[in-house]
Chain A
Amino acid sequence: EDQVTQSPEALRLQEGESSSLNCSYTVSGLRGLFWYRQDPGKGPEFLFTLYSAGEEKEKERLKATLTKKESFLHITAPKPEDSATYLCAVLPIKAAGNKLTFGGGTRVLVKP
């Protein structure tokens, strides 16, 4: 069975204090790994898709990396507006369509 585990569950950071979020996954063949951001009262917002080990993607203060067993979301010099829940999801090779398996998320709070 496909599994996605995110750690930590919650993260409190001071503005400017860089950190990393972890997403460990177990899947029999990976088609894609996705990172989403979710603000309170809203649906998830797409950030990145990673397809193969060694791949990296960047967007502003966020950088996502992928290995064969896990992905990291690095937040560099975060600002209060980076406060959100970050969700990781996998799309297995055997899955048809857009059937994503999500992790439980990491709630990030950045204090000024």
Chain B
Amino acid sequence: KAGVTQTPRYLIKTRGQQVTLSCSPISGHRSVSWYQQTPGQGLQFLFEYFSETQRNKGNFPGRFSGRQFSNSRSEMNVSTLELGDSALYLCASSWTTGKTNEKLFFGSGTQLSVL
């Protein structure tokens, strides 16, 4: 069974640009979560989608947005990039949401560098 796939693997952008990252969850998984990982802040929750609806949102500015398609694939978008947005962006999928026995399966992430 294929794992969580994130594309692209690496991305270099300049300040002010926008970027779109893609995530394909494990087949059958309906919940997709996004996390930002930096050396200083660690892993921080961005948002979660379930059945094309945003179920949760973390404490990030409105420049960070996402969506989920009917096939559960998800995208996240960051507009007006800032230097501080440089990070590893991780996507995680699970069968459902809200159940404590649901473990998250993470992709390998997209490493975004903002110059």
A residues within 8 Å of B by Cβ? 31-32, 34, 36, 41-46, 49, 51, 87, 89, 91, 95-105
Contact = CB atoms under 8 A, between A and B. Distances in A.
A97 B55 contact: yes
Contacts of B33: 97-99
Interface of B: 4, 31, 33, 35, 42-45, 48, 50, 55-56, 58, 90, 92, 94, 97-98, 100-109
Contact of B48 (A41, A42, A46, A98): A98
Given A43-B92, A97-B50, A99-B48, A87 B43 contact: yes
29 contacts: A31-B100, A32-B100, A32-B101, A34-B103, A34-B104, A41-B108, A42-B109, A43-B90, A43-B107, A43-B109, A44-B43, A45-B106, A46-B105, A49-B101, A49-B103, A51-B100, A91-B100, A95-B56, A96-B56, A98-B33, A98-B94, A98-B102, A98-B104, A100-B43, A101-B45, A102-B35, A102-B42, A102-B43, A102-B44
